[in-house]
Structures are given as structure tokens and as C-alpha cells.
Amino acid sequence: MILRIENLIKTYGDVKALNGLNLEVKQGQIYGFLGPNGAGKSTTILSTLGLIFPQQGRIELFDTEVFRDGKYDESSLVEVKRKIGYMPEHATLWEFLTPLQTLDMIGEAFGIPKGKRAERSEELLKLLNLWDVRNKKVGKFSKGMRQRLLLAQSLINDPELLILDEPMTGLDPSGIAEFKGIIRELNREGKTVFFSSHILAHVEEICDTVGVIVKGKLIVEDNLESIKREFLRRAGYTIIVETSRPVSFDGVEWKVSPLGEKKYRIVTPGDIREEIHDFVASQRAKILTMQVKEPTLEEIFLKMVE
């Protein structure tokens, strides 16, 4: 297991930022961590990295216990953090340094030999389309260039686990598409990615696993397809039917709303597509088109938060 959190509690005065949080991230996942503002996303990440102290619970990284009930095992934490890359939501870059100087300094802090640092820096700057500005001062960078450099510094130690906190905030559409492609490629190379985001479409497009935190508790954790199936099971299927002639739905238990003379919206607790075909045929009509409306992650998320 890459990351396991058990019954984690963190309070700030009378406010419980984490209220018995349980969470698991397995090797090879792209895990999307979702929640409204103040739900505990950043507190979870900072606790995992040993940057704040929860009061209770347990944190395990790479099958090594690094925290239990208010105390970190510092030596274990330092060792496992060598395998982690972290890109914070709000980070300060040294404006007077160039990308090459920035990565060299961070690589040195990880104890990477000078020759290896230079090689790794060139590899990352080329990957992130920053090689042509490698000697330009960071203070002159755009938002997108800064985000790419922050991602580069999180990768300098070739981590097994990449933790990204709102990595695509402020990027334009092309920058977002580029970022998503990079995350997918890093995952294909074997890296586990854990990232928080409030932009649900991004999570839906690239994550294979989703966790939703509300008021310090994880209310769901599963792959996206399972979450959608469960949501459909509970909320019901929405089926749009268009027929070649008007149909009477008298006597059926479905919730039917006309959308026109020959078009209907049907909401049911289960998938009734076969039954609809039989029903319409019994009325000597025929279905021209049928659309089963699958919920978006945003619709599911808003329902969960409610």
C-alpha cells in the first residue's frame, strides 16, 4: 500500500478539520481527492507529509508507519519522503533564479550528485517544455510556466508517489490539456498520483479512483465507474425516449414527463430499457432514439455534498 490513513483526527480549536478520516491509495492509481472548500483536503496532504500534527490516528507510507496518535516517527518519515514528490497549491518560487538553478538547488537538497542533477534537470525541463527558457529568470514567467516548473521540482527526485494540490488552478485550456497528458504519462511510467482538485471535470477525465471528503470524513472511495453505478442504482436511471407516434404511459410505475408530442423523459430506480421496448411495441409504436443519461462526476459530487 502506498498510503494508508486510519481514523485521523485534526482539530483547530473547536473546528474538526479531520474527523476520523480513513483513506487508502494503492500503487499505480491516479487518485482524485475531492471536497468542498474547508473539507480537509489540504490538511490531509500536510498531515501525510508531516507538515502539521494531527491529534489522533495513524498514517502509513510505503507500508511503513510514520505517524500514530500525535507523534511522527521522524527517521521513518524522512526516509519515505525521499520517494515522494509534492506540488503545493500555493508555492513561492525564487524569482531571481532560473529553472536550471531552481532544480539544481532542490536536487542538491535531496542529496542527488551534481552530474545526475544536471541530467535530471535537462530531462524534466524538456518534458515540461521549459528547456528553451532554462536560463530565464523565474520572475518573468507566466502562471502556466510557473506551474510547469513547480511540477518539475516535484519530480526532481524521481518519486514513486506524486502528491499534487490543485495542480491545474489558473491554467488556460491548452495548459490544462498539457498537464493532464503529463500526469497520464507519468502514471504509465509507474508513478502513483494523488491529487486534490475542485475542478471535477479534470478528475473525471484522468482519475481511475475518486475519494470525496466532506467535513473531515471520507464519504466515498471507489473507482469512478462503481461510483456512477451506485449513484444510478440509488438515484435512478433517466431515459429519454422518442417514438414515431404518441404513447400512453397509463398504468406504468415509471415517472414519465412529456418533452413534446412524441418525446418522453422516464426516470426509474432501475434500467428498464428492455421493458420500454416491449411496452412501446405493445402500443404499436416504435422507438426512434433512446438515450440513457449517465450522471457526471459533478452531479454525483453535488448530491453527495448535500
CATH number reported for the structural domain that contains residue 282 in this entry: 3.30.70.1560
Q: Residue 229: inside a domain, yes or no?
A: no
* CA–CA dist 15, 122 (Å, integer): 45
Verify that 58 and 200 share a domain, yes or no: yes
251 in any annotated domain = yes
The range of the structural domain enclosing residue 8 comes to 3-223
Answer whether residue 73 is part of any domain. yes
The domain total for the chain is: 2
Per-residue pLDDT of the chain (306 residues), as tens digits, is: 999 999 999 999 888 999 999 999 999 999 999 888 888 999 999 999 999 999 999 999 999 999 999 999 999 999 999 999 999 987 788 999 999 999 999 999 999 999 999 999 999 999 888 999 999 999 999 888 898 899 999 999 999 999 999 888 777 788 888 888 889 999 999 999 999 987 777 788 889 999 999 899 998 898 888 887 777 777 778 888 899 988 888 888 888 999 888 898 888 887 888 888 888 888 888 888 888 777 777 777 777 776
Grid coordinates representing 24 are: 487508502
7 lies in a domain? yes
Place of cell 524538456: 126
CA 9 → CA 14, 15, 70, distances in Å? 12, 11, 9
Q: Is residue 33 part of a domain?
A: yes
Closest to 25 in 3D by CA, of 48, 53, 56, 57: 48
| HSE (side-chain half, CA atoms, 13 Å) at 269 | 2
Q: Are 125 and 242 in the same domain?
A: no
User: Which run of H or of E encompasses 302?
Assistant: helix 297-305
Q: What is the pLDDT at residue 234?
A: 72
Same domain, 193 and 297: no
Could you tell me if residue 274 is inside a domain?
yes
Same domain, 61 and 185: yes
Q: Which residue among 223, 257, 288 closes a domain?
A: 223
Residues 203, 290 within the same domain: no
Q: Give the torsion through C-alpha atoms of 27, 162, 224, 42, to 10 deg.
A: 120
* Confidence at residue 188, expressed as pLDDT on a 0 to 100 scale: 94
pTM of the predicted structure, to 2 decimals: 0.81
Pick from 262, 287, 264, 292: nearest CA to 277: 287
The predicted pLDDT at position 137 comes to 95
CATH number at residue 103: 3.40.50.300
Q: 295 with 263, same domain?
A: yes
pLDDT of residue 302: 76
- Could you tell me if 253 and 202 lie in one domain? no
Alpha carbon distance 260, 199 (integer Å): 35
CA-to-CA dists, residue 21 to 18, 41, 114, angstroms: 6, 11, 41
User: Which helix (DSSP H) or strand (DSSP E) does residue 37 occupy?
Assistant: none
Within a domain: residue 231? no
Q: For residue 110, give the H/E element and its range.
A: none
Q: Given 188, 223, 258, which residue is the final one in a domain?
A: 223
d(CA 237, CA 104): 54
Are residues 158 and 47 part of one domain? yes
Interior angle at CA 37, CA 36 and CA 38, nearest 5: 110
Same domain, 218 and 240: no
On whether both 155 and 271 belong to a single domain, the answer is: no
**CA quadruple 264, 270, 271, 274: dihedral, nearest 10:** -80
- 242 shares a domain with 211: no
Does a structural domain hold residue 64? yes
Buried b (16+ CB within 10 A) or exposed e, 32-59: bbbbeeebbbbbbbbbbbbeeebeebbb
Last residue of a domain, one of 171, 192, 223: 223
Same domain, 11 and 152: yes
